[in-house]
Chains A and B, each alone.
Chain A
Amino acid sequence: MMNLTRTLAAGISLGTAIAFSASAFAAPAAPNYPQTIGKGEGALNIVAWEGYAEDSWIKPFEKETGCVVNRKYAGSSDEMVTLMRQGGGGEYDLVSASGDASLRLIYGGTVQPIDVKLIPDFENFVPDLKAPPHNTVKGLHYGLSYEWGPNVLLYNTDKIAAAPTSWSAIYDEQYKGKVTVPDNPIQIADAALYLAVKDPSLGIKDPYELTEKQLDAVVALLKQQRSLVKKYWALASDEIELFKNGDVVIGAAWPYQTITLKAAGAKVADTIPTEGATGWADSWMLSAKTKHPNCAYKFMAYVSTPAVQAQQALYFGETPANMKACEEMDKAEAGSCAKYHLDEATTYIKKIKFWKTPQKTCSDGSQTCTDYSVWQRKWQEVKG
Chain B
Amino acid sequence: MNDRPHTVSVSTSDRLSAVLSGAVRRVSVILWRKPGLSAGLLLAPPLGWFLLIYIAALAALFISAFWTTDSFTGEIDRTWTLSNFQAIFGSETYRLIALRTIFMAAAVTITDVILAFPFAYFMVRLASQRQRVALFTLVLVPLWSSYLARVYAWRLIFAHEGVLNWVLHGLGFQSIEIGYTNWAMWIVFSYIWLPFMIMPIYAALERIPYSLFEASLDLGAKAWRTFFKVILPLAMPGVVAGSIFSFSLTLGDYITPVLVGGPGSDFIGNVVYANVGIANNVPFAAAYASIPLVVMGLYLMAARRSGAFDVM
Contacts and interface: CB of A to CB of B under 8 A. Distances in A.
Interface of A: 7-8, 10-12, 14-16, 18-20, 22, 24-26, 76, 78-79, 81-82, 85, 104, 107-108, 177, 184-185, 226-227, 229-232, 234, 241, 245-247, 357, 359-360, 371-374, 376-377, 380-381, 383-384
Q: Which of A19, A22, A374 has the most CB of B within 10 A?
A: A19
26 contacts: A7-B51, A15-B56, A18-B60, A19-B60, A24-B75, A25-B75, A26-B73, A26-B75, A79-B277, A81-B280, A107-B73, A226-B263, A226-B264, A230-B180, A241-B159, A247-B159, A247-B179, A371-B71, A373-B279, A376-B274, A376-B278, A376-B281, A380-B97, A383-B264, A384-B93, A384-B266
A232 to B, nearest CB: 6
A383 to B, nearest CB: 6
B73 A108 contact: yes
Interface in B257-312: 258, 262-266, 271, 274-275, 277-281
Contacts of A232: 263
A26 B89 CA distance: 31
A357 B87 CA distance: 23
A20 B60 CA distance: 10
Contact of B76 (A22, A231, A246, A377): A22
Given A24-B75, A108-B75, A384-B93, 11 more contacts: A14-B56, A16-B63, A25-B75, A78-B277, A82-B280, A177-B177, A229-B263, A245-B156, A359-B72, A373-B281, A380-B271
B74 A85 contact: yes
A104 B280 CA distance: 11
B37 to A, nearest CB: 12
A140 to B, nearest CB: 17
Contacts of B279: 78, 185, 372-373, 376
Nearest to A109: B73
Interface in B206-246: none
Contacts of A231: 180, 262-263
Interface size range on B against A: 35 or more
Contacts of B63: 12, 15-16, 19
A85 B74 CA distance: 10
B278 A234 contact: no
A24 B79 CA distance: 13
Interface string B49-68: 00110011101100110000
Nearest to A177: B177
A108 B278 CA distance: 16
Nearest to A372: B71
Contacts of A25: 75
Contacts of B180: 230-231, 247
A227 B264 CA distance: 10
Most buried by B among A25, A82, A374, A383: A383
A380 B266 contact: yes
Contacts, number: 126
B162 interface: yes
A318 to B, nearest CB: 22
Interface string B76-89: 10100000000100
Given A7-B51, A104-B74, A373-B71, A78 B262 contact: no
Nearest to A25: B75
B60 A15 contact: yes
B132 interface: no
B14 interface: no
Given A81-B280, A245-B161, A384 B72 contact: no
B277 A76 contact: yes
A380 B159 contact: no
Interface string B153-171: 0011001111000000000
Contacts of A10: 51
A11 B277 contact: no
A241 B56 CA distance: 42
Contacts of B277: 76, 78-79
B71 A15 contact: no
B105 to A, nearest CB: 18
Interface in B145-189: 155-156, 159-162, 177, 179-180
Nearest to A247: B160
A79 B161 CA distance: 35
Sorted nearest first, the 9 A-B pairs with minimum C-beta distance are: A15-B60, A373-B71, A384-B264, A245-B159, A11-B56, A376-B279, A12-B59, A15-B59, A26-B73
Contacts of A234: 258
A212 to B, nearest CB: 15
B159 A78 contact: no
A221 to B, nearest CB: 15
Contact of B162 (A18, A245, A372): A245
